[in-house]
């Protein structure tokens, strides 16, 4: 996997890339349109206080999934980046549905499919069983697409955090209607 090492660079690089979730003989495909960067030096990051059982994947090799459970009912999906031993990852906040919308709608039970980090996990049936999964292979695949032009990428502050809330570490594709509502 050819990802930049820094979380910010990785968050920008992942925009426009495809997530391919294979379920049986179906492929649910989404294009990444919104990301957030979380680095070990950042107090808002799960990795800030060092390695624990929960966040261990963040300290492993890049190109692996970090899926965590939160608020007693939701999962969020990250792409691990950075060198092994350094805890950093990119939260995938929103996808543009490309294929398998019928299955996504059935998984979600409503029509807004993937415009939020927990929504897209529900739409793609991503849960803790897919934590630490190598994203170079099914059933959860990251397919890098050509890098977007800087003019296509909009920068903003992250959502739902307390610490370092002012830092410009959220990135999304300009004018894309599938970016999460708060964006």
Partner DNA sequence: TGGACGATCCCCT
Partner DNA sequence: GGGGATCGTCCAT
The least CB distance from residue 91 to DNA, in Å, is: 3
The least CB distance from residue 151 to DNA, in Å, is: 26
Q: Provide the binding-site residues for DNA, judged by CB under 7 A.
A: 36, 38, 44-47, 49-50, 52-55, 58, 66, 69-74, 76, 78, 89, 91, 108, 110, 112, 116-119, 158-162, 180
Q: Which is nearer to DNA, 138 or 182 (CB)?
A: 182
Q: Which is nearer to DNA, 72 or 177 (CB)?
A: 72
Compute the distance between CA of residue 181 and CA of residue 183 in angstroms, rounded to an integer: 5
Q: Which is nearer to DNA, 170 or 173 (CB)?
A: 170
Compute the distance between CA of residue 173 and CA of residue 116 in angstroms, rounded to an integer: 14
Q: Which is nearer to DNA, 148 or 159 (CB)?
A: 159
- Asked if residue 171 lies in contact with residue 34, where contact means CB atoms within 8 angstroms, the answer is yes
- Asked if residue 119 lies in contact with residue 97, where contact means CB atoms within 8 angstroms, the answer is no
| Residues ≥6 apart with Cβ < 8 Å to 52 | none
Q: Which is nearer to DNA, 109 or 146 (CB)?
A: 109
The least CB distance from residue 51 to DNA, in Å, is: 8
The least CB distance from residue 72 to DNA, in Å, is: 3
Q: Which residues, in sequence order, are bridge partners of residue 96?
A: 31
Compute the distance between CA of residue 165 and CA of residue 157 in angstroms, rounded to an integer: 6
The residue among 65, 67, 72, 91 whose CA lies nearest residue 180 is 91
How many CB atoms neighbour CB 9 within 10 A?
A: 14
The least CB distance from residue 124 to DNA, in Å, is: 12
């Amino acid at each position: 996997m050819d990802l930049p090492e820094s979380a910010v660079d990785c968050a920008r690089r992942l925009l426009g890339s495809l997530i391919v979730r294979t379920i049986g003989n179906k492929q649910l495909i989404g294009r990444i349109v919104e990301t957030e960067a979380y680095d070990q030096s950042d107090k808002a990051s799960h990795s800030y206080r060092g390695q624990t059982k929960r966040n261990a994947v963040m300290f492993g090799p890049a190109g692996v999934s970090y899926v965590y459970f939160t608020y007693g009912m939701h999962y969020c999906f990250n792409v691990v980046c950075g060198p092994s031993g350094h805890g950093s990852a990119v939260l995938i906040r929103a996808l543009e549905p490309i294929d398998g919308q019928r299955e996504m709608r059935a998984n979600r039970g409503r029509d807004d499919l993937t415009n939020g980090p927990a929504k897209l996990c529900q739409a793609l049936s991503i849960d803790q069983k897919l934590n630490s999964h190598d994203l170079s292979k099914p059933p959860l695949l990251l397919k890098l697409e050509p890098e977007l032009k800087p003019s296509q990428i909009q920068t903003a502050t992250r959502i739902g955090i307390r610490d370092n809330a002012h830092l410009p570490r959220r990135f999304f594709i300009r004018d894309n209607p599938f970016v999460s509502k708060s964006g």
